[in-house]
Structure 1
Amino acid sequence: MNETECIEEQHHVDHYLFPVIYIFVMVISIPANVGSLCVSCQQVKKKNELGVYLFGLSLSDLLYSSTLPLWIHYTWNEDNWTFSPALCKVSAFLMYVNFYSSTAFLSCISFDRYLAVVYPLKFPYLRTRRIAFTISLSIWIIETLFNAIIIWKDETSIEHCGTNKSYTLCFDKYPLEKWQSNFNIFRTCTGYVIPLVIIIFCNQKVYQAVKHNQATENSEKKRIIKLLLSITLTFFLCFTPFHTMLLILSIGKHSTNFGKQIFKLYRITVALTSLNCVADPILYCFVSETGRSDIWNLFKFCHLPSTTSDPGMELEDCSSNRKHTKTHVLSHQLTQVCTKKLGSFSKSYMSSI
């Protein structure tokens, strides 16, 4: 284990603040993402490529949320890791895989909607379930390999505070090693800046296309704006504070006191970034017109006694075969609105997706 400088007052802040945030995220995120997984599976079965990206997003959030009890225990003990070093590595690995697979999947969702609304008839071969599966698999492979360095490095360190007190830290080293600083700068550029540019560009183009389309009703425009804002705000609020602090912490050398203050803020933004696990299921409810009702029906099904000998059929009924509920994804419906003047060809296109 390495040794690091003592920031004892930070441990007292973590003891009260972080468990509250992590418990809040865990309680909401796990059931919400389980429901989102179930509903996105139904969309994948209907050959909806958006469901593939949403499935990957929900799975990533669920994997990270499953490690939150460890982080709760760690912060409640004032940042003293009592589990094995291997478990520290796995927890940190899943945390960073979640952060950057989330930014990647959010970028894919934005680009998919950009093609659907701005070029609904020009690139249908890019909006297939097979392409979505290929892209999603590539994201998982890249993020796994890219963050594998966490598994190989020693992520626990000893922090001595006074003569009789010490902490075993997990992935909380300060000051940063040279390789960590370089790695963080590269990670910020590829995992935050590039996705941010993609999301802003795509959403701005979608907004322009909808704004100048006379066939789109005001109610539909408002719905599109909700979708665009949900994606953009989720990304900006969850990931910008963390990467801002990470970049400041990684660039150049700071005085001891200034560096410690930056590190305190950085630690807080790490906890706040976990809120993306709560925001992503909410995002799904905006993307899918029936997302809220589907998830609600899935939860009702789990709590109501079974009235049929075939639970699988009942689950299918509540999520996809309800008689009076639409099952098209919102953004596909928006594509239909934006292209309905194209007549029967547009109708044929919509039926194919």
Structure 2
Amino acid sequence: KLSIELWFMETPNTTPDFYEDYSPMTSRNVQCNTININNFIQHFLPPFYYVIFIASVLGNGVVLLVLYKFEKLNTVTNIFLINLVASNLIVTLTLPFQAVHHSDQWIFGEALCKLVNGADYLGFYSSILFLTLMTFDRYLAVVHCVVANKRRRSCYAIVLSAVVWIISVLTSLEPFIYFTVEEYSIEGLVCEDSSDAQWKVFSLYKQFVLFFILPLIVFVYCYFRIMLTVLATRMVGKHRTVWLIFIIVLMFFVLWSPYNIITMIYENRDPKQCYSWLLYAQYVTRNIALLYFCINPLFYTFLGRKFQNHVRGVLVSQVPCLSDRLSISASSKTLFEQLMPH
């Protein structure tokens, strides 16, 4: 994730309400009015981060509770799902720090500046990789079920999960090297990326290719093959399953594509002009993408009837008067198990 940096000019001909919009494509700087942008950031982002933090902790906590109480933790699907929840919680735990930073200034020191941004990268990258891994695992289990059933064991899931974490850690070392705390006369202390323009461009395209284009290709191909396999079988309720497959791909594309597209437009804009709307769009679309990483465990679990039944059972056991309102479905399949042919 590339943050949007604001470089304030302190020459006699400028005012505190303008900043230099520096483009790596050129050495020229453009003055842009930042009054409205700063007000937007200070008033919109902190409460949004706090709401997402609370919702994500509660939602992911419920998923972990249901897995712990009702599921076998050593199955391949649940091992991947637990790691996905951990990835999302890592991102979630950085949000209060970001909220304070955007509402005032960075007050946590340089060590936490590096650690918080490193954790943000780590959770972000590992979430994408675990989603991709779970998708590919579903593809093997459905399309190549004979071979997959012989090899899909808990050790297989543990080894692949370890590989994902190693890759994620290696690709998340950048903040520990380049992020630092700088002090500005207007903003105060700011935790920002101090790498040069060429490295920022390289990091942007690395993220775009490895953590958007490739996962999107895997998503579309694997779920397309799964859909064809499901339609070719005599699965009960296969239309609902195909609809769920469509929603999975659509959610990823709708929530994650805008940020990548806007970021690419921003980096390739005309450096001689100021595009304030791109700054607004980059902040908004980045937070839309953040929603996906916070809610995807809920999305992957509670669309399955098994987890719906587990939650209803917990509610009925704690509040018996709800038994007439909450029915327990006879189906006991999770979303992933619904993608398994009979």
Alignment of structure 1 residues 174-323 onto 2, 5 Å: 177-213=197-233, 215-217=234-236, 219-226=237-244, 228-251=245-268, 254-258=271-275, 260-286=276-302, 288-295=304-311
Q: 323-332 or 131-140, which moves further after superposition?
A: 323-332
Paired residues, number: 306
Q: Which whole-Å CA distance do the structure 2 matches of 1:93 and 1:113 have between them?
A: 30
Q: Which whole-Å CA distance do the structure 1 matches of 2:196 and 2:304 have between them?
A: 42
Report the identity percentage. 21
Task: Report the residue type matching 1:97 in the other structure.
Answer: L
**Kept in 1: contact 2:263–2:282 (CA 8 A):** yes
The RMSD of aligned alpha carbons is 3.0
SS of residue matched to 2:190: strand
SS of residue matched to 1:170: strand
Residues 334 and 264 of structure 1: is their aligned pair in 2 closer, same or farther, counting only changes over 3 Å? closer
Task: Report the residue type matching 2:337 in the other structure.
Answer: H
Q: Which whole-Å CA distance do the structure 1 matches of 2:291 and 2:113 have between them?
A: 21
**Kept in 2: contact 1:22–1:72 (CA 8 A):** yes
TM-score by length of 2: 0.78
Cα deviation code 1:127-165 (max 9, x no counterpart): 2221111111111111111111111213434455xxxx3
Which position in structure 1 is the counterpart of 2:65?
38
**Kept in 2: contact 1:39–1:291 (CA 8 A):** yes
Which position in structure 2 is the counterpart of 1:166?
187
Task: Report the residue type matching 2:7 in the other structure.
Answer: T
SS of residue matched to 1:169: strand
**Kept in 2: contact 1:36–1:284 (CA 8 A):** no
Which position in structure 1 is the counterpart of 2:109?
84
Segments of structure 1 that go 5 or more residues without pairing to the other structure are 305-322, 340-353
Task: Report the residue type matching 2:336 in the other structure.
Answer: S
**Kept in 2: contact 1:29–1:277 (CA 8 A):** no
Task: Report the residue type matching 2:38 in the other structure.
Answer: H
Cα deviation code 1:311-351 (max 9, x no counterpart): xxxxxxxxxxxx9976554433542xx33xxxxxxxxxxxx
Q: Which whole-Å CA distance do the structure 1 matches of 2:252 and 2:304 have between them?
A: 18
Q: Which whole-Å CA distance do the structure 2 matches of 1:184 and 1:82 have between them?
A: 27
Segments of structure 2 that go 5 or more residues without pairing to the other structure are 9-18, 20-33, 320-327
Q: Which whole-Å CA distance do the structure 2 matches of 1:48 and 1:287 have between them?
A: 19
Residues 44 and 147 of structure 1: is their aligned pair in 2 closer, same or farther, counting only changes over 3 Å? farther
**Kept in 1: contact 2:262–2:278 (CA 8 A):** yes
Which position in structure 2 is the counterpart of 1:19?
46
Which position in structure 1 is the counterpart of 2:120?
95
Q: 3-12 or 55-64, which moves further after superposition?
A: 3-12
Q: Which whole-Å CA distance do the structure 2 matches of 1:96 and 1:297 have between them?
A: 37
